[in-house]
Amino acid sequence: MTTEVRVPTLGESVTEATVATWFKKPGDAVAVDEMLCELETDKVTVEVPSPVAGTMGDIVAGEGETVGVDALLATIVAAGEATSSAAKPVPAAAAAPSSDSVDVMVPTLGESVTEATVSTWFKAVGDTVAQDEMLCELETDKVSVEVPSPAAGVLAEITAPEGSTVDASAKLAVISASGTVIAAAPAVAIATSAPAGKDVEDAPSAKKAMAAAGVSRDQVTATGRDGRVMKDDVARAVASAAAPAPAAVAPRAAVSSDDAPREERVKMTRLRQTIARRLKESQNTAAMLTTYNEVDMTEVMALRNEYKNLFLKKHGVKLGFMSFFTKACVHALNEVPEVNAEIDGTDVVYKNFVHMGIAAGTPTGLVVPVIRDADGMSFAGIEKAIAEKGARARDGKLSMAEMQGGTFTISNGGVYGSLMSSPILNPPQSGILGMHKIQDRPMAINGQVVIRPMMYLALSYDHRIVDGKGAVTFLVRVKEALEDPRRLLMDL
């Protein structure tokens, strides 16, 4: 009996993911719920468990391939059943494709992507290939997609050479399990050329891991076929990062008169591409403006110091500043509802609730988990939600549903030492509050110069819907609530 392993639901608006890592290979024994592979979407990592116990069968979607929701990833077969056949030698004579031939098709590119360009072929006609070995790489306007071999055998024909544009249902090549080679068209002769200066392409998951860890390719020992760097290679390099880099690296760059050998080109991760696209869209769409104020954190810090031990003992979570800021923003949003609204065409949609986005930095980029109905939560409830979602964000375990539907966002650049910045809106939201570093500064209080812990606040807002008066009023209400936290209790 064969059981199909398919892409799970990724979120309401997410239609595709990239296969990052396979933890099992054909023939491996698997248990129920044992992790088979890891998928990456624009913002989160999704683990795919085995639905049944048995033996790993065929892997249909290899590492680097982009797949749609419910796409077939692999099969699980009962113990003892055969998996894909082994590769066979190439005969000298060319012939027509036999019944054992398997077409290599363009993988799922995504709902809105209709075509791709063949950028690189890693194999030539006549080469022996293993199942899931990378055959070629496609480029779309969003991502690069590696195409694995659907079966073991011989690359019999290449129907889409490098540089050709193919649609989402096109055939790229033919794999022959018997080793039969089909006479290739002249245009295919260039299909095996490699990019200048580099013979092989590293696995996309490895590139992402190197970028996230700050590890250069020279520091990684490649174990993949043809010298490809794989994700596990990067993990080993990171684990031994304390060791000095190879001595040959620095001299080779130093003696060159050309800067090119000292540069490293790493393809942007899908998350980074999405962040870049959304931020630029925000700037291009919204009439964004930023207004500033500052807040004296004396009272909040005193209140926190007084009750933090009792708070931790009773609620099991630390009392931080974020719950105070969340409460203060909810209070201000009630008075200035347009900051909590959004534009939909020619309509303004006012929200009678607050779904608070809390920006969190992760090793792979910025994500914004959403605390739903924050306006009805206690300090403890907010702190627990922030702690839980923050941990999940750092581990890459957030679902898309947990990052959708926010009505307002708080971004805390102060944890990195930022003294002042202008945050960019998170569309379609109309407001985002930027928190910054708490710094002791001399302040004039009742005619006396005293040292106070001060923080600059920045509110970026969409001027199409929020007027200057509303933005300033919002910041003043946040300032008042934080400088006198009792106002939050009295709803003043």
Q: Is 58 a catalytic residue?
A: no
Q: Are the CB atoms for 30 and 53 separated by under 8 Å?
A: yes
Per-residue DSSP letters for 205-274? HHHHHHHHHT--GGGS---SGGG---HHHHHHHHHTTTSPPPTTHHHHHHT-SSSGGG----PPPHHHHH
Q: Are the CB atoms for 337 and 350 separated by under 8 Å?
A: yes
Q: How far apart are CA 174 and CA 162, in angstroms?
A: 16
Angle at 29 between CA 26 and CA 32, to 5 degrees: 115
What is the DSSP-derived secondary structure letter of residue 123? S
Catalytic residue among 141, 167, 199, 467: 467
Q: How far apart are CA 185 and CA 21, in angstroms?
A: 35
Region of 308 (left: φ > 0; alpha: ψ -120 to 50; beta: rest) is alpha
The label of the residue with tokens 């797949």 reads 67
Catalytic residue among 28, 70, 141, 463: 463
312 φ/ψ angles, rounded to the nearest 5 degrees: -65, -40
Q: Are the CB atoms for 462 and 471 separated by under 8 Å?
A: no
Q: Is 258 a catalytic residue?
A: no
Q: How far apart are CA 27 and CA 146, in angstroms?
A: 23
User: What residues pair up with 434 in beta bridges, in sequence order?
Assistant: 411, 458
Helix (H/G/I), strand (E/B), else coil: 429:
coil
Tell me the two tokens of residue 430.
Answer: 């109309």
Q: How far apart are CA 51 and CA 76, in angstroms?
A: 9
User: What residues pair up with 288 in beta bridges, in sequence order?
Assistant: 462
Q: How far apart are CA 295 and CA 305, in angstroms?
A: 18
Q: Are the CB atoms for 154 and 126 separated by under 8 Å?
A: yes
Q: Using only the alpha carbons of the chain, give its radius of gyration.
A: 28
Q: Which of 73, 129, 133 is nearest to 101 (CA)?
A: 129
Tell me the two tokens of residue 446.
Answer: 């009742």
Which residues does the annotation mark as catalytic? 463, 467
